[in-house]
Amino acid sequence: MAAPTVTPELDSAGAARRLGPTYAQVVKLSRYQIRDYLRSYRYILMFGLVTIIGSILTLAVGYYRPASLISDPLAFYGTLWGGGSVVVIVFAAVIFGGDAIAGEFQNKTGYFLMGLPLRREAIYAGKYLAALVASLTALAFYLVILVANGLYYFGGSAFPWQLGESVVLAIVYLLAVLGATFLFSSLFKTSTYATLVVAVLFLFGFSILQALVTDLAKIEPWFIISYADSIIGNAFLNPYPAHITVTTATRFMPSETVYTPTVAEGVVIMLGYFAVTTLAGLGLFEREEFT
Amino acid sequence: MTAAAIEVQHLTKRFGSFTALDDLSLKIEGAKCVGFLGPNGAGKTTTLKMVTDMIFPTKGECFLNGVSVQSNRKVALSAAGVLIESPEIYPSLTPYEALEMVADVRGVPRAEWKGRIDEVLAEVKMSDWADKKVGRFSKGMKQRINIAAALVHDPQILILDEPATGLDPRGMAEVRTIVRGLKKRNRLIFMSSHILAEVTDVCDEVALIDHGKLRFYDTLPNILSRFSAGQSTIDAAFSRPLAPADVTAQITSLPGVEGVETLDPRRVRIKFSGGLATQENVLKALAGSGLGLVAFNETSSALEEIYLSQIERGD
Ligand SMILES: Nc1ncnc2c1ncn2[C@@H]1O[C@H](COP(=O)(O)OP(=O)(O)O)[C@@H](O)[C@H]1O
Ligand SMILES: [Mg+2]
């Protein structure tokens, strides 16, 4: 053979040295996963969805011109970003993460990856990183649509600092939703189930649970993520609502206690979801067999 | 002392109450091809999946170059090229990109990628397809890319599970050529197969398993002599049909010949003892016999007979 030949890997020590650290392998792996995402129908689907959501909102605001929204950037972003970003995030998470692990089993691509000298954690993390980057691009696209509207209505004041804060909070929420998606993806080994469960839970399951907990148990629903994610919209409220508000009783309604998470509390809850789901998902994946 | 390239210790795998692999121990080293032979369901894939940490042993452990696969898959798999269960490749990637991913993750220096990838794609005869999406490829074409992926970092150890799966006869022959080339370059190939011809053709040693149990592991010549009890077999072909009387008079009567089986009117299988000396005399006698000898081959069925006698009937 005339073509050049690499130094053969004659012993494991030398070969291992060439592999480099695990975190570098994670980044490498994620690059190829992202390349796969960019070309797959998923990307088109996700960007199609954001385009549709963005167009509907743009047209609705442009047509009805609700005074409360187009006179105040904070109210504008509070409604459209606060309400819309969480939906975009859940869609992105299921579209990019739903089959991230399950697909490796379903489509037999796992046998290709598992033949490589990668720790199982590196495979999980590399796929997570790729799904995160893909989701972030979708979220950024949504943000661009809103900011374009904002520039049209508010000109120079289209960038309140609260928008920056809220974007950061939305990214933290994305970490948590993706964490849960990956957990279900490795739990079910079937992307359809993972997608369904995450969509149902994050689009209404947790909200229903939260309502039940607050109404029936009358405690602060600090363990429910839909409670925490309200900080993404609340970031635009000025002044920020008090942690606990007790409404005064009226003739028709008894007094009620309303809980609002502080930003710090919300962040901690979301990071908690991220940590727990990721550890659980990793733990599962470590024990899964490619039979 | 350096550790064996592949070592398997008391490897056992149960699926529920079914024992797919039962206490397999093997130690493989050197530069050669070891055939891992057994009928369908014998436990070959199960074994190789444990050797590459795709499934977990119920008992036992596997080592590559002395590194435990079960406790450090990253380092253990670094010196091996692996092809198990005909994987799918991400359909939107091209062969070139898929191989680039392997080279990248395996730490092949970037400057060597192109040369290496071109080389292995040429070896599996897929150069013309390097930049087409894998998604539309046939099973055989994908398998060729999988073989290339196992070779791209020029590994010291190759673990191949039925590499000829999905390939046409030409592809199978090409796989054998690749394996021979690897042996020349001092690589170790551990290759499962249920195809005897493939194993006899390229393997130096054979490990036979059946029903999850290792029957034997030895060099091919040792196996042949051990199980044939001093008997050898030759297939002879003639230009015209043989009369039964001729067979008895001119073949069975030859010194050393212990039996003659008529395969078809023009071909017989001759069993004899006395090794090469007898073989030489039989050939001489047949060539001068006027029976019209046109071919005289060492039978490929020697291993087949051993194989059939060693594996339990599945029914
Ligand atoms: N995940 C599994 N669950 C139950 N049985 C299995 C599983 N995988 C393999 N087996 C059984 O283990 C035996 C060995 O299978 P395998 O190693 O694939 O055989 P082969 O030698 O053909 O590669 C077969 O009887 C097969 O049915
Ligand atoms: Mg098999």
For residue range B290-311, what is the model confidence (pLDDT) as tens digits? 889 999 887 766 777 778 877 7
Q: Which residues are in the CB-under-5-Å shell of ion ligand 2?
A: B 45
For residue range A139-187, what is the model confidence (pLDDT) as tens digits? 999 999 999 999 999 988 888 999 999 999 999 999 999 999 999 999 9
Judgement on whether residues B204 and B246 belong to the same structural domain of the protein: no
- For B277-289, what is the mean pLDDT? 90
Containing structural domain, residue A54: 18-287
pLDDT tens, chain A, 291 aa long: 333 343 444 455 666 778 889 999 999 999 999 999 888 888 999 999 999 999 999 999 999 999 888 899 999 999 999 999 999 999 999 999 998 999 999 999 999 999 999 999 999 999 999 999 999 999 999 999 999 999 999 988 888 999 999 999 999 999 999 999 999 999 998 888 888 998 899 888 998 998 888 888 888 888 889 888 999 999 999 888 888 888 777 777 777 788 889 999 999 999 999 999 999 999 999 999 999
Dist CA B278 CA A11 (whole Å): 47
Answer whether B45 contacts ligand 1 (Cβ < 6 A). yes
Q: According to the model, what pLDDT value does residue A245 have? A: 84
Q: Any idea what the CATH number is for the domain that residue B9 is in?
A: 3.40.50.300
Domain boundary among B192, B223, B254: B223
Single pTM value for the model: 0.89
Q: According to the model, what pLDDT value does residue B228 have? A: 65
Judgement on whether residues B291 and B169 belong to the same structural domain of the protein: no
Q: What are phi and psi of B17, to 5 degrees?
A: -95, -5
Lowest model confidence (mean pLDDT) among A61-75, A250-264, B20-34, B241-255: A250-264
Domain count, chain B: 2
Judgement on whether residues B16 and B128 belong to the same structural domain of the protein: yes
Judgement on whether residues B245 and B294 belong to the same structural domain of the protein: yes
Whole-number Å distance, alpha carbon B198 to ligand 1 midpoint, is 22
State how far residue A245 is from chain B, nearest Cα, in angstroms: 53
Strands in chain B per DSSP E:
6-15, 18-28, 33-37, 59-64, 67-68, 80-83, 157-161, 188-193, 205-210, 213-219, 231-238, 257-264, 267-273, 293-298
Q: Under 8 Å CB-to-CB from A39, ≥6 apart: which residues?
A: B92
Q: Any idea what the CATH number is for the domain that residue B292 is in?
A: 3.30.70.100
| Position A3 in a domain | no
| Position A182 in a domain | yes
> Of the candidates A233, A125, A224, which has an alpha carbon nearest to the alpha carbon of residue A170?
A233
Judgement on whether residues B49 and B183 belong to the same structural domain of the protein: yes
Domain boundary among B170, B191, B223: B223
Instruction: Give the confidence band of B232 by pLDDT, cuts at 50, 70, 90.
Output: confident
| Position A264 in a domain | yes
Residue B47 forms contact with A (CB below 8 Å): no
- 8 Å CB contact between A143 and A57: no
Dist CA B199 CA B303 (whole Å): 9
Judgement on whether residues B110 and B254 belong to the same structural domain of the protein: no
Domain count, chain A: 1
List for chain B the helix, strand, coil content (%; round to 5).
40, 30, 30
Judgement on whether residues B20 and B76 belong to the same structural domain of the protein: yes
Strands in chain A per DSSP E:
244-246, 257-259
Contacts B73 to A, Cβ<8 Å: 117-120
- For B46-74, what is the mean pLDDT? 96
Q: How many CB atoms lie within 10 A of CB B111?
A: 10
Nearest ligand for residue B314 CA: 1
> Of the candidates A109, A129, A105, which has an alpha carbon nearest to the alpha carbon of residue A185?
A105
| Position A34 in a domain | yes
For residue range B75-84, what is the model confidence (pLDDT) as tens digits? 999 989 999 9
Containing structural domain, residue B278: 228-313
Where b means 16+ CB within 10 Å and e means fewer, B206-243 reads bbbbbbbbbbebeebeebbbebbeebbbbbbebeeebe
Q: According to the model, what pLDDT value does residue A7 have? A: 42
Answer whether B85 contacts ligand 1 (Cβ < 6 A). no
Mutate to test the interface with A, among B74, B116, B177 (most CBs of A within 10 A): B74
Judgement on whether residues B234 and B203 belong to the same structural domain of the protein: no
CB contact under 8 A, B97 and A32: yes
Instruction: Give the confidence band of B8 by pLDDT, cuts at 50, 70, 90.
Output: very high
- 8 Å CB contact between B278 and B272: yes
Answer whether B56 contacts ligand 1 (Cβ < 6 A). no
Q: According to the model, what pLDDT value does residue A4 have? A: 37
Whole-number Å distance, alpha carbon B45 to ligand 1 midpoint, is 7
